[in-house]
Amino acid sequence: MSRALTFHIGAIIVLAVLQFILPVYHSGNLARIMVLAVYAMGYNVMFGYTGLLSLGHAMFFAVGMYGAGLSIRLFDMAAAPAFGIGIIASILFSLGVGLLALRTIGVAFMIVTLMFSQAIYLLILYFNPLTRGDEGFVIPQAVRQVAGFDLSDPTTRYFAALLLFAIALLGMVWLVRSRTGRVLVAIRENEERARMLGYDSWAHKLFAVVLSGTMAGAAGAAYGLLFGSVGASFAEVPFSILPLLYVLLGGPGTVIGPFVGTLFMFYLRDISSSFTDAHLLVAGIVLVLLTMYARRGIMGVVRERWAKWLP
């Protein structure tokens, strides 16, 4: 077993043990962080590994969340099939976005993703009778059951979040070590040279968009089912910026980086908010300092200086 795989399996084991050690407040936070980390890992596929900068990633999260939530609200589906509907909706939607957005490059790609995201947000508001608009809706506790397990129970919720996180994390370890992952990195570094070597860069970028959108959608569906709330705020522009911040802080192009960035930013805001109302200013200052002195992010610096084997 390689050092990289051992390290990431070890991280999953540590997270499992922490459930039995941490107070309820922090274990609840960590469950939320793991789900958001999957969202950030999906973003990392596009940005960190393929070099595609999206400003509208919240649309994928929202499609997964509303796909699952509306299946329950409108059709009385159980939690497991609703989660599957959320993932299928994310796959189809990200495929459509990829086919259209990849007709552009650079800044135009960023603008197109932002426009798609705003369109999803406005659709949520427009269909207020179904989506409840800004108010959102709650998924009843009675429905949040899978195979007899109550997803609203703190311990069950934690391990459900850990399961999703573990699948995403180990899947990313496999991807970045595979031929496809190496091609994505080659496209990020020099797309023209990758094409000259015979690789279909457009098809690989489409794969990256679909995989990224599917991971974000799975995180959105899981968030709605685990925490019981669905709302338009998860489709707004600020929510699209969060995974970018998480990835930049943790380390673009590193597998564990999005989790580290999510953990760091979550507790930075949580701790600073207990001292000042300007906690976002504190987070902004720390982000600027990290950008100036650790441009590769936390895990990027760790990999560069001490652990070059980290994927």
Taking all residues of the chain, what is their mean pLDDT, rounded to a whole number? Answer: 93
HEC readout, the chain? CCHHHHHHHHHHHHHHHHCCCCCHHHHHHHHHHHHHHHHHHHHHHHHHHCCCCCCCCHHHHHHHHHHHHHHHHHHCCCHHHHHHHHHHHHHHHHHHHHHHHCCCCHHHHHHHHHHHHHHHHHHHHHCHHHHCHHHCEECCHHHCEECCEECCCHHHHHHHHHHHHHHHHHHHHHHHHCHHHHHHHHHHHHHHHHHHCCCCHHHHHHHHHHHHHHHHHHHHHHHHHHHCEECHHHHCHHHHHHHHHHHHHHCCCCCCHHHHHHHHHHHHHHHHCCCCCCHHHHHHHHHHHHHHHCCCCHHHHHHHHCCCCCC
This prediction has a pTM of 0.95
Q: What band does 273 get if pLDDT is binned at 50, 70 and 90?
A: confident
Residue 296 has a pLDDT of 87
Any domain includes 293: no
Q: What band does 1 get if pLDDT is binned at 50, 70 and 90?
A: low
Asked whether the predicted pLDDT for residue 291 surpasses 80, the reply is no
Asked whether the predicted pLDDT for residue 125 surpasses 70, the reply is yes
Q: How many domains does the chain have?
A: 1
Any domain includes 265: no
Any domain includes 24: yes
Any domain includes 261: no
Q: What band does 191 get if pLDDT is binned at 50, 70 and 90?
A: very high
Q: What is the pLDDT of residues 135-170, one digit of tens each?
A: 999 999 999 999 889 999 999 999 999 999 999 999
Pick the residue with more confidence: 225 or 292? Answer: 225
Any domain includes 182: yes
Q: Report the pLDDT averaged over residues 281-303.
A: 85
Any domain includes 304: no
Q: What is the pLDDT of residues 3-54, one digit of tens each?
A: 989 999 999 999 999 999 999 999 999 999 999 999 999 999 999 999 999 9
* Domain ranges, residue 20: 3-237
Q: What is the pLDDT of residues 209-241, one digit of tens each?
A: 999 999 999 999 999 999 999 999 999 998 999
Residue 285 has a pLDDT of 86
